[in-house]
Structure formats: C-alpha cells, structure tokens
C-alpha cells in the first residue's frame, strides 16, 4: 500500500519543518507538500492530491476556520487535523472547527518543551491519527451487524446510570446525542471524552448551551442526580462511589489506561461496580480500544452496551473493539443512539413499575 500523502498548512516555517521531519520517520506517511497560508493550501490541494491535511487554526489572512470551511465545500470527505494551542481561545476555536467538519485536532507543543521532545510528541500522536483517519477514509465503509447478548432479558433491569465513552469525532457525536435527551430524563449521565484540560470544560459549556439537561465538567464530591450530564475533566480519571444513600463523583490522576486519562475503561469499570446491572454504557467513535475492557465489566454485571456503527463513526476503533469482543447488545447509527437510549431507559422503568405491582 503506498504511503498516505499529507499536506502541512502552517504559517510558521519552524512548525512546518518540525512536522515534516516528524512525519519523515514513518514509512506509512509521506509529506506531499507544505503551505504557509490557507489560500496557498487551497491552490495546492488539486496539485498534490493529499490523503489528509494538517491545518493551523491561527494564521494571518485566511485563518484555519475559513480555510476549513472552503475545504469542506470543495472536498467534503478529505480528513483534516487542526493544530491549536492549549488555551481557552484555542479550545473554543478547536471545538468550532470540529463542529464545522474537522476530523480531529492536536495541541501544539509548548515553548518550554525541547525540540526533541516536541518532535517525539508529534511523531507518537500525529502518525497514529493520520493512519487511522486517512486509512479509514481510503477504505470502503462496511455496515456492521449487531451481536445480541440477550438484550430483551437485560431490558427488564431498571437503568439507573448512562455512561458514555468516546474520542475522535466525539464532540460532534455528543452534540448529536446529548441535546436529544429530554428535560425529564430520569437518570444521571457521565461522559468520558478524550480531551486535555480546558478543552473538556469548553466542551461542557458548549453542550450545556445546546441541551435540555445541565452539562458541566465533573467536580469531585458532586452527587449524581437526574437532569445532569458530567464530562470527565481533562487529565483526570472519573469514577463513581457510594456515599451513604447517594453516589458521588471522584477524580484521580492514577496512571493512564490505554494511554488515556481520562479513560473510558476506568469510568465503565466504576459504573459497573456501583450500579451493576442497572448500567447502560454507550461507546461511540474513537481511535484505539478504550472502553472494551470496561464494557466487559458492564456486561459481566448484567448491564447493557450500545455502540455506534462503523458507517457513522469518524474512526471505528473503540466501538469496533467492543463489537469484535462480542460485547455489544446493539449497534446503532449515530442518529439512532439518542432515541435508543431513551427507549431503553423508559422500557426498563415501565417494566420495573409493572413488576412492582405484582
């Protein structure tokens, strides 16, 4: 298979050089060209025919958002990775870029890091993202078949918690699902989205403005209650714990799992320990396999697992790992997940009410 061709767009000659040298270490990736501005990038795309574009957000003249908008008009399926700064402004613009169709993002190395350290960070993270995004872009999508694990029997168990895990493509997936949940949604919601600090708070604020439920970044000690969605704080694992008759949120900086902190496995494992068979887990688009081991814990406890299908996922790594392990109770297109969650929660509560009358 020929190497994936990447067009690097950044107004900084230092960044263009750093990225080019980092990508040169991979046999799977080839730098097809560089551009110092958005207008030059748009002119170069038909010339170099890239499989993926890395795009700086803040550039003079045509900035990254404007360039992305034009790319999406002309090349709607071409993967684009945005480069931003780890600041509130960078986080806000990155979320806007993702909403406009960017495939993924990376934060630029800080000035305090050595050049060698910066290159190693780029090499480690960027090559994986490129091969996952551009590789899946070049392959035909398949439609997955659900593997049932006695879903009808499980639906009789009253659902008390909704736990969601996602990564690449997750902000848009969450923006599809969370606003569908009604104001009277009867169970609390906890979410792990792989994102750094600042970004998770900005994501929570953005979803809160779009949703009937209150969405906020998780804080240690908060009591779980219906009507609220808590998003794991960047660089902290999110767990649940009994405190008397209530359940509270806990945060920790234990070692990363699956190279992630927060990790979906940590949250799912904790939800299974606290809520057992009353747990409904949802695994959506994302690279890697985070969530698969946690889904196994939920399944072993008698809970239910929904996963996003391959066709609607930006990357089918995380949901695919759950399906391949035989842990999915149902596979849904993204636009179906919200209603399926609502249906299962309502059915579980109606059946519980009926059982209570006998």
Does residue 171 sit in the same domain as residue 308?
yes
- pLDDT at res. 290: 98
Strands 29-35, 52-56: pairing is unpaired
Confidence at 107, pLDDT banded by 50, 70, 90 = confident
* Domain at 18, CATH number: 3.40.50.2300
Give the DSSP H/E element, type plus range, for residue 300. helix 292-300
pTM (predicted TM-score)? 0.90
Domain that holds residue 57: 4-138
Residue 270 has pLDDT above 90, yes or no: yes
Q: Which residue, of 108, 138, 168, is where some domain finishes?
A: 138
Is 256 inside a domain boundary? Answer: yes
Residue 167 bears catalytic tag: yes
Read off the pLDDT of each residue in 21-45 and give the average, rounded to a whole number.
Answer: 94
Residue 294 has pLDDT above 60, yes or no: yes
Read off the pLDDT of each residue in 19-45 and give the average, rounded to a whole number.
Answer: 94
Does residue 204 sit in the same domain as residue 114?
no
Does residue 197 sit in the same domain as residue 110?
no
Is 143 inside a domain boundary? Answer: no
Is 213 inside a domain boundary? Answer: yes
Confidence at 1, pLDDT banded by 50, 70, 90 = confident
Is 288 inside a domain boundary? Answer: yes
Does residue 40 sit in the same domain as residue 163?
no
- pLDDT at res. 46: 97
Q: Where are the beta strands (DSSP E) in 263-325?
A: 279-283, 304-308
Give the number of domains in the chain: 2
List the end-to-end C-alpha distance of the chain, in Å, as a whole number: 63
The answer to which of 106-120, 258-272, 317-331 has the lowest mean pLDDT is 106-120
Confidence at 268, pLDDT banded by 50, 70, 90 = very high
* Domain at 281, CATH number: 3.40.50.180
Is 262 inside a domain boundary? Answer: yes
Does residue 132 sit in the same domain as residue 184?
no
Confidence at 143, pLDDT banded by 50, 70, 90 = very low
Residue 256 has pLDDT above 90, yes or no: yes
Cis peptide before 67 (omega within 30 of 0): no
Does residue 80 sit in the same domain as residue 130?
yes
The answer to which of 146-155, 255-264, 317-326 has the lowest mean pLDDT is 146-155
Is 146 inside a domain boundary? Answer: no
- pLDDT at res. 136: 60
Does residue 78 sit in the same domain as residue 226?
no
Q: Which residue, of 138, 172, 197, is where some domain finishes?
A: 138
Confidence at 358, pLDDT banded by 50, 70, 90 = very low
Which of 196, 53, 22 is closest to 115 using CA atoms? 22
Residue 290 bears catalytic tag: yes
Does residue 195 sit in the same domain as residue 114?
no
Residue 149 has pLDDT above 50, yes or no: no
Does residue 171 sit in the same domain as residue 313?
yes
Q: With pLDDT > 70 as the criterion, what percentage of the chain qualifies?
A: 89
Distance CA 22, CA 115 (A): 11
Query: In what order do the strands lie in the sheet containing 4-9?
Result: 29-35, 4-9, 52-56, 80-84, 104-107
Note the pLDDT tens digit of each residue in 181-202: 999 999 999 999 999 999 999 9
Does residue 130 sit in the same domain as residue 157?
no
Among residues 10, 56, 290, 309, which one is catalytic?
290
Among residues 37, 136, 144, 167, which one is catalytic?
167
> Using CA atoms in the order 33, 34, 35, 36, what is the torsion angle rounded to 10 degrees?
-160
Is 310 inside a domain boundary? Answer: yes
Which of 330, 283, 277 is closest to 300 using CA atoms? 277
- pLDDT at res. 114: 66
Distance CA 102, CA 81 (A): 6
Does residue 304 sit in the same domain as residue 215?
yes
- pLDDT at res. 219: 96
Integer angstrom CA distances of residue 69 from 48, 74, 171? 20, 9, 18
Distance CA 170, CA 231 (A): 12
Among residues 36, 84, 194, 312, which one is catalytic?
194
Read off the pLDDT of each residue in 108-118 and give the average, rounded to a whole number.
Answer: 65
Read off the pLDDT of each residue in 28-43 and give the average, rounded to a whole number.
Answer: 96
The mean pLDDT value of the chain amounts to 90
Residue 147 has pLDDT above 60, yes or no: no
Read off the pLDDT of each residue in 4-32 and give the average, rounded to a whole number.
Answer: 92
Does residue 298 sit in the same domain as residue 231?
yes
Q: Which residue, of 113, 138, 163, is where some domain finishes?
A: 138
Cβ count within 10 A of residue 148: 12
Distance CA 305, CA 309 (A): 13
- pLDDT at res. 115: 64
The answer to which of 132-136, 233-237, 291-295, 319-323 has the lowest mean pLDDT is 132-136
Is 144 inside a domain boundary? Answer: no
Read off the pLDDT of each residue in 202-231 and give the average, rounded to a whole number.
Answer: 97
Residue 194 bears catalytic tag: yes
């Amino acid at each position: 298979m020929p190497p994936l061709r990447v067009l690097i767009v950044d107004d900084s000659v230092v960044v263009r050089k750093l990225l080019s040298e980092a990508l040169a270490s991979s046999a799977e990736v080839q730098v097809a060209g560089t551009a110092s501005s958005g207008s030059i990038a748009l002119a170069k795309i038909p010339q170099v025919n890239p499989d993926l574009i890395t795009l700086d957000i803040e550039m003079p003249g045509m900035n990254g958002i404007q360039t992305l908008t034009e790319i999406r008009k002309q090349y709607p399926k071409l993967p684009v990775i945005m480069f931003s700064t780890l600041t509130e402004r960078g986080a806000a613009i990155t979320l806007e870029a993702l909403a406009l169709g960017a495939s993924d993002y990376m934060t630029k190395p800080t000035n305090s890091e050595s050049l060698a350290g910066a290159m190693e960070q780029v090499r480690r993270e960027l090559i994986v993202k490129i091969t996952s995004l551009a590789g899946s872009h070049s392959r035909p999508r398949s439609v997955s078949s659900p593997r049932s694990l006695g879903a009808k029997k499980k639906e009789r168990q009253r659902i008390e918690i909704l736990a969601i895990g996602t990564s690449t493509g997750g902000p848009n997936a969450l923006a599809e699902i969370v606003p569908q949940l009604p104001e009277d949604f009867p169970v609390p919601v906890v979410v792990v989205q792989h994102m750094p600090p600042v970004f998770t708070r900005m994501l929570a604020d953005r979803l809160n403005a779009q949703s009937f439920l209150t969405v906020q970044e998780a804080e240690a000690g908060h009591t779980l209650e219906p009507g609220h969605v808590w998003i794991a704080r960047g660089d902290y694992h999110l767990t649940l714990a009994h405190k008397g008759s209530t359940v509270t949120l806990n945060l920790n900086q234990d070692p990363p799992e699956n190279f992630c902190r927060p990790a979906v496995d940590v949250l799912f494992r904790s939800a299974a320990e606290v809520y057992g068979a009353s747990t409904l887990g949802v695994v959506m688009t994302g690279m890697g396999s985070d969530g698969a081991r946690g889904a196994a814990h939920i399944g072993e406890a008698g809970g239910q697992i929904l996963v996003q299908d391959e066709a609607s996922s930006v990357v089918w790594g995380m949901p695919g790992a759950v399906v391949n392990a035989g842990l999915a109770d149902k596979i849904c297109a993204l636009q179906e997940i919200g209603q399926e969650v609502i249906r299962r929660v309502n059915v579980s509560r109606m059946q519980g009410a009926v059982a209570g009358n006998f």
